[in-house]
Amino acid sequence: MRLPAPRGPLSRATFTALASPPPFTVDLALVRPAAAGDVLRSDDLQLTLWALYELHYRGFDEVADEHEWDPDVLRLRRELEHPFEAAVRRLAPSAVVTDQDFVGQLRLTIDTADGPPLAAFLHREADREQVLTFLRQRSLYHLKESDPHAFVVPRVDGRAKVALAELQYDEFGAGRPEALHSRLYADALAGAGLDPTYGRYVDETPAITLAVNNLMSLFGLHRRLRGAALGHLAAFETTSSLPCRKIAAGIERVGLPPVVAAYFEEHVEADAVHEQVALRDICGAFVETEPDLAGDVLLGASACLALDAAAAGDLLAVWADQEQEAAS
């Protein structure tokens, strides 16, 4: 993958430095203006952070592998993570852990979270172009589906580790490369006439959707946030099955071929099972061994849903604006 197009002074300076041989130098004074205002919707900050995280996944063609652990690269990443994590915590304040059974509280946290009706819109109203936009924007994550949560495996033990491995086994194809969920998504993109190349649509992905991706990397890459990573996973899996059914139906309605809907249909059944595994066997077991991190698990779940809701709301708002423009 090539580096994306910069979206401001910070990303421009960072990408130039990344594409140059070490040592890596970027003026940290560029961070403050990028972090001013709404951090979650700052194109310059979210894109820079996304690119720095990407060094831990597949990297970029023009960036030396040595940059991944360069202390100056990590220092810049830390400068961006501070305001990002603070913004996430403002959006999803950590819940107070009650005495009731933890899995019940986690489920309640997830069930009572509110989100805009993106799946319902895709089901009943979206036109083909809107469905394709949705598929492109989601591709940033689904082409590396479950990779961020894989970073957590060595950070947990016992029943939680076993259950996490069981869930990941499905996400990673259950022994069959052609069934990797990232591969199913690539097949869906190709079936829809889109480009299945990893990272292909980053340039058109809005900051808030980059933030959705960055959240998973933040939680996955910091051991101190392992509880939040597991809570995020539980929220993700628990809120997937029903929307996936609607999205699959919407994809069929606009006349895209069955291979496109197949990715979502696979998740109707799989995530109904994963929901139980993530809530009880992963998060429940984890909190039994690390009760001090129960609040972090709830934070991770709320943060997942709050950011997803913000991204979905922004996408619906863009479409509503376009419709109004077309009508006037």
DSSP state string for 219-276:
HHH-GGGHHHHHHHHHHHHHTTHHHHHHHHHHHHHTT--HHHHHHHHHHHHHHHHHHH
- Nearer to Fe ion by C-beta: 12 or 57? 57
Rounded to the nearest whole angstrom, what is the least distance from the CB of residue 105 to Fe ion in the complex?
22
Part of the chain binding Fe ion (CB under 5 A), chosen from 47-55, 119-127, 220-228, 273-281: 273-281
Between CA 75 and CA 95 the distance in angstroms is 30
- Nearer to Fe ion by C-beta: 45 or 305? 305
271 binds Fe ion (CB under 5 A): yes
Residue span 4-23 as binding mask against Fe ion, x where in contact by CB under 5 A, dash where not:
--------------------
The residue number whose beta carbon is nearest to Fe ion equals: 181
- State the number of binding residues for Fe ion (CB under 5 A): 5
Between CA 127 and CA 244 the distance in angstroms is 17
Part of the chain binding Fe ion (CB under 5 A), chosen from 73-81, 128-136, 265-273, 301-309: 265-273
- Nearer to Fe ion by C-beta: 67 or 138? 138
Part of the chain binding Fe ion (CB under 5 A), chosen from 101-109, 187-195, 231-239, 283-291: 231-239
- Asked if residue 259 lies in contact with residue 191, where contact means CB atoms within 8 angstroms, the answer is yes
Q: Which of 274, 279, 302, 315 binds Fe ion (CB under 5 A)?
A: 274
147 binds Fe ion (CB under 5 A): no
- Structure token pair of residue 58: 């597949």
Q: Which of 123, 181, 232, 246 binds Fe ion (CB under 5 A)?
A: 181
- Nearer to Fe ion by C-beta: 11 or 209? 209
Part of the chain binding Fe ion (CB under 5 A), chosen from 48-56, 168-176, 280-288, 290-298: 168-176
- Structure token pair of residue 312: 């979905």
**Which residues does residue 180 pair with via DSSP β-bridges, in sequence order?**
172
Rounded to the nearest whole angstrom, what is the least distance from the CB of residue 9 to Fe ion in the complex?
37
How far lies 157's CA from each of 144, 163, 289, in Å? 24, 10, 9
Alpha helices, DSSP H, located in the chain: 9-18, 31-35, 43-54, 71-91, 102-111, 118-124, 128-142, 147-150, 158-171, 181-191, 207-221, 226-238, 241-253, 258-276, 285-289, 294-327
Residue numbers of the site for Fe ion (CB under 5 A)? Answer: 171, 181, 237, 271, 274
